Chains A and B, each alone.
Chain A
């Protein structure tokens, strides 16, 4: 669905964002894109959505060149930016004004999502808080039934119950022909949701793996001491050390935050030691 080959992009000659970036993503996944501030997560999302053009390399999304922004591409791609802008309309009016542009729009799903998020269809968007607006836009994005849904920091501004509702909706509504791309700093919010993780650093994809494969290769644990263990990465923590070790048939939940920290310290180590 998404093919990036040798992608290069720079905002200026001094700030090169991507250099030889390669990535391939397929439908039927929920992909978490992680990276430090300024790693280029949002720019990558915009490039995939066609809002920025790569300066080098090739980018193909659903068989289209995104930057051409042709309608048949746009009706299959929904981008939810970090700060969504909503017009001065009620939720009902917004649906009337925007939903006809999406051929697979699912009104029932929208109503269900609004119910889960405790939003009323008659409410005016200007009266909603930032978090409530975000919830509405998440619900609309899901209901668009676009084949590619991109969300930049979707859980920013959401309270704890809403984050729970968000995970529930995401997990329950995605079809096999859809791809959901989530970019976030808040790793814990998407940990249990994603089935692939992509980590960006210094203009490159430093890690891209399926969560299942990741959990088969690596084990995450809290241990009292590091002695006698083959530790790939460790961090001091309350009660000992958080460690990543090669998996020896243990079934441990993936600690994305620990993985991310490990990758930021030494991007090659985890892959190198496990491949």
Chain B
């Protein structure tokens, strides 16, 4: 393999991706089998006489999905860069002839993008397979099939014009959590997820404390605020928060990249 571009080369990236697949394929497929198996049992129990005795509805599915997505996503993404967990593993990873950018992009794709795409797919597939088998082989649970998706309404009680904004805001919040976990995995060698959560919570409360302090110092309560309730103002606020969130996430991603690039052993 001879390439001249030291920042990014498609040939090298392909080679790196192949190597990553080669090294992790067994764990990857075992993980998928384990996840689907556990989820299958969960659905089976929940819809059996031991549980609800009927098919899961859209709202139940959404609750389970979000809970598992957050917990498993944080665990999976929070342990990105597995080579950074020990000095012995870090050396061959850093010495592998690929650029820091290529290694970073591949890790981001295989951790975040792969999870965001594969997780919902596996979740839904397991629900469908279990539901079909359950309804056809065990008992009639009034299985909804694909129609269950129509029952899911994320922002049910919200006004129509606010729904896309709220969806974007929710996306940015999720993305921030994911990127925080990713940055932590690049930053901390031991217990990266727990350390990240601890540091994030500490920083949040520090910031929150400062805001409260400012309120008291400047006696904000006595200011004659007149905030009119209007849909435009609400959207402007949300747009501002989304933009701020995107900028913040850009910062998190850049920080994670520089952590990888400047890593020393």
Shortest beta-carbon distance from A86 to chain B in Å: 9
Within 8 A of A (CB), among B1-26: 1-4, 6, 9, 12, 15, 18-19, 22-23, 26
Shortest beta-carbon distance from B264 to chain A in Å: 5
Shortest beta-carbon distance from B83 to chain A in Å: 9
Segment of A76-84, A207-215, A222-230, A254-262 in the binding face: A76-84
Please give, as numbers and ranges, the residues of chain B lying within 8 Å of A85 by CB-CB distance: 86, 88-89, 91-92
User: Does A97 interact with chain B (Cβ within 8 Å)?
Assistant: yes
Q: Contact between A81 and B99 (Cβ–Cβ < 8 Å)?
A: no
The residue in chain A whose Cβ has the minimal distance to the Cβ of B27 is A88
Q: How many cross-chain pairs have Cβ atoms below 8 Å apart between A and B?
A: 73
Q: Contact between B89 and A101 (Cβ–Cβ < 8 Å)?
A: no
Please give, as numbers and ranges, the residues of chain A lying within 8 Å of B94 by CB-CB distance: 50-51, 69
Please give, as numbers and ranges, the residues of chain A lying within 8 Å of B265 by CB-CB distance: 46, 51-52
Complex-state Cα separation, A121 to B89, whole angstroms: 23
* Total number of A residues with any Cβ neighbor in B under 8 Å: 31
Q: Contact between B88 and A97 (Cβ–Cβ < 8 Å)?
A: no
Please give, as numbers and ranges, the residues of chain A lying within 8 Å of B97 by CB-CB distance: 71, 74-75, 101-102
User: Does B95 interact with chain A (Cβ within 8 Å)?
Assistant: yes
Q: Contact between A71 and B12 (Cβ–Cβ < 8 Å)?
A: yes
Shortest beta-carbon distance from B9 to chain A in Å: 7
The residue in chain A whose Cβ has the minimal distance to the Cβ of B263 is A51
Shortest beta-carbon distance from B85 to chain A in Å: 11
Complex-state Cα separation, A81 to B265, whole angstroms: 11
Shortest beta-carbon distance from B5 to chain A in Å: 8
Within 8 A of B (CB), among A176-200: none
Complex-state Cα separation, A98 to B3, whole angstroms: 16
Shortest beta-carbon distance from B11 to chain A in Å: 10
Complex-state Cα separation, A84 to B93, whole angstroms: 12
Residue B6 contacts which of A70, A81, A100 (CB distance < 8 angstroms)? A70
Complex-state Cα separation, A51 to B93, whole angstroms: 11
Within 8 A of B (CB), among A58-117: 67, 69-72, 74-75, 77-79, 81, 83-85, 87-89, 93, 96-98, 100-103
The residue in chain A whose Cβ has the minimal distance to the Cβ of B265 is A51
Q: Contact between B9 and A79 (Cβ–Cβ < 8 Å)?
A: no
Complex-state Cα separation, A50 to B48, whole angstroms: 59
Q: Contact between B88 and A96 (Cβ–Cβ < 8 Å)?
A: no
Q: Contact between A81 and B98 (Cβ–Cβ < 8 Å)?
A: no
Please give, as numbers and ranges, the residues of chain B lying within 8 Å of A53 by CB-CB distance: 264
Q: Contact between A101 and B92 (Cβ–Cβ < 8 Å)?
A: no
Q: Contact between A103 and B2 (Cβ–Cβ < 8 Å)?
A: yes
Please give, as numbers and ranges, the residues of chain A lying within 8 Å of B15 by CB-CB distance: 100-101
Please give, as numbers and ranges, the residues of chain A lying within 8 Å of B3 by CB-CB distance: 71
Within 8 A of A (CB), among B126-164: none
Residue B100 contacts which of A69, A77, A81, A87 (CB distance < 8 angstroms)? A69
Q: Contact between B95 and A97 (Cβ–Cβ < 8 Å)?
A: no
Please give, as numbers and ranges, the residues of chain A lying within 8 Å of B217 by CB-CB distance: none
Residue B22 contacts which of A52, A69, A72, A96 (CB distance < 8 angstroms)? A96
Given contacts A72-B4, A102-B1, 17 further A-B contacts (CB under 8 A): A50-B94, A51-B91, A53-B264, A69-B94, A70-B99, A84-B88, A85-B88, A85-B89, A87-B23, A89-B22, A97-B19, A97-B23, A100-B1, A101-B1, A101-B12, A101-B97, A101-B98
26 contacts between A and B (CB under 8 A): A50-B94, A50-B95, A51-B94, A51-B264, A51-B265, A69-B100, A71-B6, A72-B4, A74-B95, A74-B98, A75-B1, A75-B97, A78-B95, A79-B95, A81-B88, A81-B91, A85-B92, A87-B23, A89-B22, A89-B23, A98-B19, A100-B15, A101-B15, A102-B1, A102-B97, A103-B2
Residues of A within 8 A of B (CB): 46, 49-53, 67, 69-72, 74-75, 77-79, 81, 83-85, 87-89, 93, 96-98, 100-103
